[in-house]
C-alpha cells in the first residue's frame, strides 16, 4: 500500500501527540542513509529524554547503538524497496539506557520530499516477561530432569515431552525416539492387554494429581514389563491443555511386599505355610465344604519325644530335625493338600475335597511310615524319630476351624497315649467334657474374674531409641486364676471375643487406664502416654466410641494421653462401623497405632486412608534380624515406609543389644521389649520412672 500524506500541515503533526507510542519522522536523502528527524511526537521525547528541538538536530543513527547500525541500514533499504517494514530494534535514551522497540516504519512524502514515519512500541515489558518465563522454564526443566520418576507431557495421548528418567525407565536409546509416540505403547492398564486408550480413565480424573497405584504396567523398549504407579494431572503446556503424568517404578516396593507377605505366611525354618496361612485356608475350605456339601480332613501331628531330643541335643539340632521332618511330611501329602507348621514340633495337614475317609488315613499312615522309615542324620547324630497323627473330619466331627483343630489334636493325644508312631481318627468318646480348659468352664470363670478382681493390668514401658528414657507404656491384661494360676491373654482374649465378654473386659481396661492417669495427676506425677489394645471384635460394637468418650469424660483426663493399638485386620475389613469409630476416636484426640504391623496383609496402600499415628513393627521382624541380610532389608523397608508416611515407628519385642543398635542406627523412634523392661505392675513402673528421673 502506497502511503502519501499531505504532510507539513500543522494539524496532522498535532495528531501525532495523541499517540501513546513514540512516533518519529525523518528525512530520506535519495536512496541514502536516514537523514535528520523532521518531527517527533511528545511520547518520543518522554521515552528517549530528548527535547523536540534536540531531535531536529539528530538522525536515527545517533540513537542507535553502534552494533545495531548495520541492521538499521538494512531495514532502511527494505523501507525504500518495500515501502514499509516491521522490525525489532534498539534506541538509546539520553541516559544511555538501551530500550528494545518494535518499529513499524513506512515511506511517506512530505512536501514532495521522501521521509520515513516510524511508530515505535516499547518492548521492555514484553522482553522482560519473556526472559523471566525462559528462566523459570529452565528452572523447572532442571527440576523435572533431576526427578527420579518419569515425567511426561501428553497431547492427545502422544508424548510431547519426557524427562531423562522416563527415557531410562522405558529404556529408549534417546529421548527423540519417544517424542510423538503414543503413551499407550508404553503404559498399559494392569487389567488390559490391548493398548487401546489405557489412560482414558486417568484423563477423566481431572486436574488433581491423582494417585492410582498398582494399576499399570510399563512395557519397555525391549518388551520387558515393569510394575508402575501412575499419577496424572491436567496442565497448560505450550498454550494448550495437556496431560502431565508421573510414572514411578514399583518393582522394589512390590518385591518387599512379596517378601513381607512370605514372612507373614510362611514358617522361616521349614518354609512350610505357617499357622496363619493354615487357618485362613482351612476357614475357606470349611466355607466351601459347607455350601457345596463336601468333606475335608484335618491331620494334626507332632514328633514323639521331640522335647527330650531338643533339650538333650540343643536347639540347633532340634531346628534341623524339624526342617528335615517338614520335608518328609511335604513329600507324603497329596498335591491339593496343604501341609503347615503351627509352631514348635506341631504340624498340620488340610486335605480339601475329600472323596472318602481312606484318602486321609492313607496319607496319615504314609506320614507315620515315612518319618520312622530311616534315621534323621543331623550334625553326625543318627536320630530315630516317630510321629503321632490325629485326624478329624468335616462335617462329621466338627464344623468350625477351632473344633476341627481341637478334635484332630485330641485324636493325636490318643495316638500318643497308645504308644505313638501311629495315627488315630477322632471319636467323640475322646472328648473329656470336664477338663478345666473346656470352653464352658473357662467362660464361666472369666465372667467371675471380672467381678472378683482376678483381672488386672500390667504396664510395659516404651523407651525413646535416642535417649533410652521411658516415653510411654502399653497396658497388657493379666488374669490370675485362683487355682489355674496365670492365664496369658492369648488364651482368654479369643474366648472373651467369642462369648462377647470382651465388651465388659474392654470397658474394664479403659476405666482402669483412665483411673490410673487420674491418680498420677492427683499425686502430681507427670502423665505418660498409655496404649490400650483394642481387638477387631471390640470395633464391631457400635457403642464403643460413646463408651470410651463417657469413661474419659467422667475421669476428667485429656484424651491425648490415650493411644489405641489396633491390628491391620481391622483396616482391611473396612467395615463402616469400625471406620467411623476409628475416625471418631481420632477426632476426640486419641492416637491410633497399628499393632503387630507386617503380619496382617501384604498391601500397604490402605495405610494413608486412615488416621494412623504410629506403626508398631511386629516382634517377628525384630527377632528375625539375626537371620541375615534379607530380614534386615525388610525391617529397613518397614522403617522407611513408616517414616515416609510421617508415622512414628515403634519396634516390639526388642530383646538383644544387637537389635537395639540396629534400630537406633536406622531411626526407629521407640523401642519396647524385654531388653528394657518386662510388663510391670504399676508400683514397679513408678519406681522405674523415679529411678530414671533421679539419673538426670
Ligand atoms: P501385643 O499387643 O502385640 O502385645 C505385645 C506382647 O508381646 C505382650 O504379650 C508382651 O508381653 C509381649 N512382649 C513384650 N516384649 C517382648 C519381648 O521382648 N519378647 C517377647 N517374646 N515378647 C514380648 P502379652 O501380654 O501376652 O499379650 C499378648 C497379646 O494379647 C497382645 O499382643 C494383645 O494383642 C493382647 N492383649 C493384651 N492385653 C489386651 C487387652 O487389654 N485388650 C485386648 N483386646 N487385647 C489385649
Ligand atoms: Mg499391643
Ligand atoms: Mg504387638
Q: What is the pLDDT of residues 279-334, one digit of tens each?
A: 999 999 999 998 988 999 999 999 988 887 887 788 889 999 999 999 999 999 99
355-379 pLDDT, tens digit per residue, is 899 999 999 999 999 999 999 998 8
Sorted by where each begins, the domain ranges of the chain are 4-128, 147-254, 268-431, 451-695
User: Number of C-alpha atoms within 13 angstroms, CB side, residue 75?
Assistant: 22
What mean pLDDT is predicted for residues 118-141?
85
| Least confident segment among 122-136, 162-176, 197-211, 237-251 | 197-211
pLDDT the model gives residue 648: 95
Which residues neighbour 80 within 8 Å (Cβ) at sequence distance 6 or greater? 28, 31, 107
Least-confidence region, from 137-146, 151-160, 654-663: 137-146
Residues with CB under 5 A from ligand 3 (ion): 595-596, 652
Residue 91 near residue 98, CB atoms below 8 Å = yes
Q: Which residues line ligand 1 (CB under 6 A)?
A: 460, 476-477, 488-490, 493, 509, 533-535, 565, 595-596, 619, 652-655, 672-674, 679
Nearest to residue 295, comparing CAs of 226, 397, 184, 180? 397
For the ranges 157-171, 558-572, 627-641, the lowest mean pLDDT is seen at 627-641
pLDDT attached to residue 12:
67
pLDDT confidence bin for 693, thresholds 50/70/90:
confident
Q: Which atom belonging to ligand 1 lies closest to the Cα atom of 506?
A: 42
What does the pLDDT average to over 450-474? Answer: 95
pLDDT above 80 (res 222): yes
Enumerate helices (H) and strands (E) in the chain, giving the number of each: 25, 27
Q: Distance, CA 487 to ligand 2 centroid (Å)? A: 17
pTM to 2 decimal places: 0.51
> Do 22 and 120 touch, CB atoms closer than 8 A?
yes
- The fold of 147-254 is Beta-Lactamase (3.30.450)
Do 268-431 and 4-128 have the same topology in CATH? no
Using CA atoms, how far residue 537 sits from 382, 497, 500, 524, in Å, is: 49, 6, 8, 36
What is the 678 CA–ligand 3 centroid distance (Å)? Answer: 14
Residues within 5 Å of ion ligand 2, judged at the Cβ atom: 533, 565, 595
Probe ligand 1: pick from 455, 462, 475, 476, max atoms within 8 Å of CB?
476
CA of 476 to the centre of ligand 1 (A): 6
Average pLDDT, the chain: 87
Mean pLDDT of the region 231-259: 85
CATH 3.20.20.450 fits 451-695, yes or no: yes
More confident residue, 112 or 269: 269
So what's the pLDDT on residue 53? 92
Q: Name the residue among 541, 478, 471 with its Cα closest to residue 504.
A: 541
Residue 345 has a pLDDT of 92
How many CB atoms sit inside 10 A of residue 319's CB? Answer: 14
Domain boundaries 268-431, CATH class: alpha beta
Q: Distance (Å, rounded) from C-alpha 364 to C-alpha 424?
A: 9
Q: What is the CATH topology of the domain spanning 4-128?
A: Beta-Lactamase (3.30.450)
User: What is the arithmetic mean of pLDDT over 179-192?
Assistant: 82
Q: Residue with the nearest Cα to atom 34 of ligand 1? A: 533
Evaluate if residue 512 carries a pLDDT over 80.
yes
State the pLDDT at residue 267: 92
CA distance 199 to 219: 14
Q: Which residue's alpha carbon is at the smallest distance from atom 30 of ligand 1? A: 489
Amino acid at each position: 500500500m502506497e502511503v502519501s500524506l499531505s504532510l507539513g500541515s500543522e494539524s496532522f503533526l498535532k495528531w501525532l501527540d495523541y499517540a501513546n507510542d513514540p512516533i518519529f519522522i525523518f528525512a530520506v536523502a535519495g536512496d541514502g542513509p536516514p537523514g535528520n528527524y523532521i518531527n517527533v511526537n511528545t511520547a518520543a521525547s518522554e521515552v528517549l529524554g530528548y527535547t523536540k528541538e534536540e531531535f531536529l538536530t539528530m538522525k536515527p543513527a545517533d540513537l542507535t547503538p553502534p552494533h545495531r547500525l548495520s541492521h538499521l541500514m538494512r531495514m532502511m533499504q527494505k523501507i525504500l524497496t518495500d515501502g514499509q517494514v516491521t522490525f525489532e530494534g534498539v534506541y538509546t535514551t539520553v541516559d544511555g539506557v538501551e530500550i528494545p522497540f518494535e518499529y513499524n516504519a513506512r515511506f511517506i512524502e512530505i512536501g514532495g520530499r521522501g521521509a520515513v514515519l516510524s511508530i515505535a512500541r516499547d518492548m521492555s515489558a514484553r522482553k522482560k516477561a519473556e526472559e523471566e518465563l525462559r528462566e523459570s522454564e529452565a528452572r523447572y526443566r532442571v527440576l523435572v530432569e533431576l526427578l527420579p520418576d518419569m515425567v511426561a507431557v501428553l497431547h492427545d495421548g502422544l508424548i510431547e515431552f519426557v524427562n531423562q528418567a522416563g527415557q531410562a525407565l522405558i529404556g529408549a536409546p534417546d529421548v527423540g525416539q519417544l517424542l510423538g509416540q503414543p503413551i499407550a505403547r508404553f503404559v498399559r492398564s494392569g487389567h488390559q492387554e490391548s493398548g487401546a486408550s489405557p489412560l482414558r480413565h486417568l484423563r477423566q480424573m481431572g486436574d488433581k494429581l491423582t494417585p492410582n497405584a498398582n494399576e499399570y504396567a510399563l512395557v519397555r523398549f525391549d518388551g520387558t514389563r515393569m510394575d508402575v504407579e501412575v499419577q496424572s494431572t491436567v496442565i497448560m503446556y505450550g498454550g494448550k491443555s495437556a496431560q502431565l503424568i508421573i510414572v514411578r517404578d514399583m518393582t522394589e516396593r512390590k518385591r518387599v511386599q512379596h517378601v513381607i507377605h512370605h514372612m507373614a505366611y510362611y514358617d522361616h525354618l521349614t518354609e512350610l505355610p505357617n499357622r496363619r496361612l493354615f487357618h485362613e485356608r482351612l476357614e475357606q475350605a470349611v466355607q466351601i465344604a459347607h455350601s457345596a456339601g463336601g468333606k475335608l480332613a484335618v491331620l494334626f501331628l507332632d514328633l514323639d519325644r521331640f522335647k527330650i531330643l531338643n533339650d538333650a541335643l540343643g536347639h540347633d539340632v532340634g531346628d534341623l530335625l524339624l526342617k528335615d521332618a517338614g520335608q518328609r511330611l511335604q513329600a507324603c501329602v497329596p498335591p491339593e493338600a496343604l501341609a503347615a507348621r503351627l509352631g514348635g514340633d506341631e504340624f498340620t495337614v488340610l486335605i480339601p475335597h475329600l472323596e472318602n475317609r481312606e484318602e486321609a488315613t492313607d496319607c496319615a499312615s504314609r506320614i507315620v511310615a515315612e518319618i520312622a522309615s530311616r534315621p534323621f542324620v543331623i550334625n553326625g547324630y543318627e536320630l530315630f524319630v516317630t510321629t503321632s497323627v490325629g485326624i478329624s473330619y468335616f462335617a462329621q466331627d466338627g464344623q468350625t476351624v477351632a473344633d476341627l483343630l481341637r478334635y484332630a489334636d485330641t485324636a493325636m493325644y490318643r495316638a500318643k497315649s497308645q504308644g505313638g508312631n501311629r495315627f488315630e481318627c477322632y471319636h467323640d468318646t475322646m472328648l473329656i467334657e470336664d477338663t478345666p480348659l473346656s470352653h464352658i468352664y473357662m467362660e464361666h470363670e472369666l465372667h467371675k474374674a471380672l467381678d472378683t478382681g482376678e483381672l488386672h493390668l500390667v504396664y510395659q514401658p516404651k523407651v525413646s531409641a535416642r535417649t533410652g528414657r521411658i516415653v510411654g507404656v502399653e497396658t497388657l491384661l493379666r488374669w490370675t486364676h485362683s487355682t489355674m494360676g496365670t492365664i496369658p491373654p492369648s488364651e482368654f482374649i479369643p474366648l472373651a471375643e467369642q462369648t462377647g465378654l470382651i465388651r465388659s473386659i474392654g470397658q474394664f481396661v479403659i476405666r482402669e487406664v483412665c483411673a490410673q492417669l487420674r491418680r498420677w495427676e492427683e499425686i502430681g506425677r507427670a502423665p505418660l502416654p498409655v496404649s490400650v489394645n483394642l481387638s477387631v471384635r471390640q470395633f464391631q460394637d457400635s457403642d464403643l466410641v460413646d463408651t470410651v468418650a463417657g469413661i474419659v469424660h467422667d475421669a476428667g483426663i485429656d484424651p491425648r494421653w490415650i493411644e489405641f493399638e489396633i491390628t491391620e485386620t481391622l483396616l482391611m475389613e473396612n467395615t463402616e462401623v469400625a471406620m467411623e469409630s476409628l475416625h471418631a476416636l481420632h477426632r476426640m484426640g486419641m492416637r491410633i497405632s497399628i499393632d503387630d504391623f507386617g503380619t496382617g496383609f501384604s498391601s500397604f496402600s490402605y495405610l494413608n486412608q486412615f488416621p494412623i499415628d504410629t506403626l508398631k513393627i511386629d516382634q517377628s521382624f525384630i527377632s528375625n534380624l539375626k537371620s541375615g541380610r534379607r530380614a534386615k532389608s525388610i525391617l529397613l523397608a518397614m522403617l522407611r515406609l513408616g517414616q515416609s508416611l510421617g508415622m512414628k515407628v515403634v519396634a516390639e519385642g526388642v530383646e538383644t543389644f544387637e537389635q537395639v543398635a540396629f534400630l537406633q542406627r536406622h531411626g526407629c523412634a521407640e523401642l519396647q521389649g524385654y531388653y528394657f523392661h518386662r510388663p510391670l505392675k504399676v508400683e514397679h513402673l513408678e519406681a522405674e520412672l523415679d529411678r530414671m528421673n533421679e539419673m538426670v
